[in-house]
Amino acid sequence: MTVSTSAQPIVQGKDLNKSFGRVIGLNNCQFELFPGEVLAVVGDNGAGKSTLIKCISGAHEVDSGKIFVNDQEVSFKSTHDARTHGVETVYQTLAVAPALDISENLYLGREVRKKGILGKVFRSLDKKHMREVSTKSLSDLGVLTVQSITQTVETLSGGQRQAVAVARAGTFGSQVVILDEPTAALGVNESARVLQLIKDLRERGMSIILISHNMPQVFDVADRIHIQRLGRRAAVVTPQSHTMNDVVAIMTGAMTVPEEEQQLGPVR
């Protein structure tokens, strides 16, 4: 294992706190994502996984603590704001608009207008351009056949929909892709496809945060595993350093890992 401690995180959270009234979502939580890695975030229900990524992706504002992207402190006011800084989030349910076709989904919120008066005054969309780029990016990712680019997303299978959402993140030069339980509702083949897509995105140099309860999937795809417990980071381990049983034990507090045995630096 090559450990370089000099690499800077692409996303970093320091001492993050977030409460909802009396309920504590994050309690002095630390977080690091390094360039080009898949970081799994695991933990029991209510451990603060979604709260953590919502704070990072601009859906929530933290009560205190600092978030850095590429070494710059950020304070995203919305997910759109995060997206313009290269941080794209794929939510299980909100990922796609069912009545729109695939290319319209890829370009949702980023539509390209026609050149000249048609675009400026009449706000006409350049559908041809958007379809060409969509077709290319989906076939690059090996996701869908070219004929189906004008299919509405509601006619796609769950896995194809999720693939469109992931492809959307991969099409616009996002640096960081956050996936909250992307395979929770998918069958075996569809899940395998989404996992392959995650590996492909990593090959293209993207950094990926994967929230999942599925241990075999986590152990298949993750470079490092951030274990969240009671609103904070209990440990960071790797599929090589610890077993699935260990990870479950850390999740429940039955096992603790001294800092020197954790994988706090990058492995890639």
Ligand X SMILES: Nc1ncnc2c1ncn2[C@@H]1O[C@H](COP(=O)(O)OP(=O)(O)OP(=O)(O)O)[C@@H](O)[C@H]1O
Q: Catalog residues that contact Mg ion under the rule CB under 5 A.
A: 49-50
Smallest separation, CB 160 to ligand X (Å): 24
The β-bridge partners of 67 are 13, 74
Angle at which helices 188-203 and 158-171 pack, to 10 degrees? 10
**Residue 159 sits in the site that holds ligand X (CB under 6 A):** no
> Is residue 100 within 8 Å of residue 152, measured between CB atoms?
yes
Report DSSP letters for 76-136, one per residue: -SSHHHHHHTTEEEEETTTS--TTSBHHHHHTTT-PPBPSTHHHHTT--B-HHHHHHHHHH
Task: Find the helix or strand (DSSP H, E) in which 208 lies.
Answer: strand 207-211
Three-state DSSP at 24 gives: strand
102 CB burial (10 A radius; 0-12, 13-18, 19+): buried
Residue 50 or 191 having the CB closest to Mg ion: 50
**For the chain, the helix, strand and coil percentages under 3-state DSSP, each to the nearest 5:** 35, 25, 40
| Least distance from ligand X to the Cβ atom of residue 21, Å | 7
Nearer to Mg ion, 50 or 262 (CB): 50
Q: Rank residues 47 and 247 by Cβ distance to ligand X and give the closer one.
A: 47
Q: Shortest CA distance to 230 belongs to which of 79, 28, 69?
A: 28
Among 3, 4, 20, 61, binds ligand X (CB under 6 A): 20
Q: Which among 17-25, 150-158, 197-205, 239-247 is the span making contact with ligand X, rule CB under 6 A?
A: 17-25
Give min distance, CB of 213 to ligand X, in A.
Answer: 7
Q: How many residues bind ligand X (CB under 6 A)?
A: 11
* Minimum separation from the CB atom of position 165 to Mg ion (A): 17
Local structure of 223: helix, strand or coil = coil
Residue 60 or 224 having the CB closest to ligand X: 60
What mask of x and - would describe binding to ligand X in positions 30 to 69, judged by CB under 6 A? -------------x-xxxxxxx------------------
CB of 212 to ligand X, least distance (A): 10
Applying CB under 6 A, the span of 19-27, 126-134, 202-210, 253-261 interacting with ligand X comes to 19-27
Nearest distance, CB of residue 105 and ligand X, angstroms:
25
CA-based radius of gyration for the chain: 19
- The closest of 32, 38, 12, 34 to 202, measured between CA atoms, is 38
> Taking CB within 5 to 8 Å according to partner kind, which of Mg ion, ligand X, none is near residue 48?
ligand X
Which of 23, 99, 146, 244: binder of ligand X (CB under 6 A)?
Answer: 23
Residues of the shown chain interacting with ligand X in the complex, contacts defined by CB under 6 A: 20, 23, 25, 43, 45-51
